[in-house]
Amino acid sequence: MKPAPFEYHAPESVADVVGVLADHGDEAKPLAGGQSLVPMLALRLARFEHLVDLNRVGQLAEVARDDGAVLVGAMTRQASLERDDHARAVPLLGRAAPLIGHFQIRNRGTVGGSIAHADPASELPAVALALDADLLVAAADRTRVIPAGEFFAGNWTTVLEPDELLTAIRFPVWEGRSGFAVEEVARRHGDFALAGAACGVTLRGDGTIERAAIALFGMGSTPLRAPAAEAALLGRRGTPAELAEVGQLAVQDLEPPDDVHASSRYRRAVGAHVVALALSAAVREASA
């Protein structure tokens, strides 16, 4: 047995989960799919007196259409994003999912777990940021809605308080002639990306870009939007030359991490490349 001892709670309702969190504060941690938390416990990088298992809370695993959006329960398995009928209305979810770990990981790993874990190189936080998703949060005495743009505070850090639980994520559905893509470069399939981008575009009837979203991951301590690059796309058609330029614009002010896997400079080059690739695929899809 590698993890340190803990007391195990297996509540069956959100009310009971947040009750346990209220009682124990930062000595308690919600256990979602366990694909990041359990390795951290095994390596003793983290230790909690109480683990609150969310796997018996059925209401956290529901996916539903919700007035111009798709409401994805925090305990929705990553694997189910590839086949859920409601989730299909948000194509970035199904495009991001196959890039997460391996199929055995996705069978267990969850959407809410990935977002609350907030690894800056992971895909779903970037998808939430690109789409301006709303994160629904509950505590014993309150609820609140946090825009994705205000949720990520740093490496593996969010603005969630210890007594708060991420219960669902509301991903807006883009109507019209829209296209989406996620591109990343990783050393091996399933590894965390050295750099990646999640992008969406909507075209006007004349083929010019009306709306664009670009979120980068692996390029900083949180997923990052690229507002200047998004603005530069408006009114353009997304020719290869334009997209290459926009890719450069998206990364020019970033200071990506410098580590054994890649230098900062290399990550910036890869970042520009994946932005251009993802935008190109998104424009192609929107034009089809």
Task: Say if residue 202 is exposed, middle or buried (CB neighbours under 10 Å; 0-12, 13-18, 19+).
Answer: middle
Per CB under 8 A, 76 contacts another protein? no
Give burial (CB, 10 Å; 0-12/13-18/19+) of 41. buried
Looking from the CA of 288 toward its CB, the CA atoms found within 13 Å total: 9
| Residue 53 binds to another protein (criterion: CB under 8 A) | yes
Residue 33 or residue 125: which is nearer to another protein going by CB? Answer: 33
Q: Is 8 in the site for another protein (CB under 8 A)?
A: yes
Near another protein by CB under 8 A: residue from 20, 51, 213, 214: 51
Q: Which is nearer to another protein, 15 or 43 (CB)?
A: 43
The smaller minimum CB distance to another protein, of residues 187 and 284, is found at 187
- Tokens coding 29: 């941690």
Compute the least distance from the CB of residue 101 to another protein, in Å.
Answer: 7
Helix (H) or strand (E) holding 256: none
Q: Are 42 and 3 a contacting pair, CB within 8 Å? A: yes
Nearer to another protein, 30 or 179 (CB): 30
- Burial class from Cβ neighbours inside 10 Å (0-12, 13-18, 19+) for residue 104 reads exposed
Q: Which of 39, 58, 147, 176 forms a contact with another protein (CB under 8 A)?
A: 39
User: What is the smallest separation between the CB atom of 125 and another protein, expressed in angstroms?
Assistant: 19
Backbone dihedral region for residue 34 (phi beyond 0: left; psi -120 to 50: alpha; all else: beta):
left
Is 102 a binder of another protein (CB under 8 A)? yes
Antiparallel, parallel or unpaired: β 28-31 and 157-158? unpaired
Cβ-based nearer residue to another protein, 100 or 249: 100
Of 46, 105, 139, 173, the residue at the interface with another protein (CB under 8 A) is 105
Does position 94 bind another protein by CB under 8 A? no
Binding site for another protein (CB under 8 A): 1-8, 10, 34-35, 38-39, 41-43, 51, 53, 55, 101-105, 107-108, 188-190
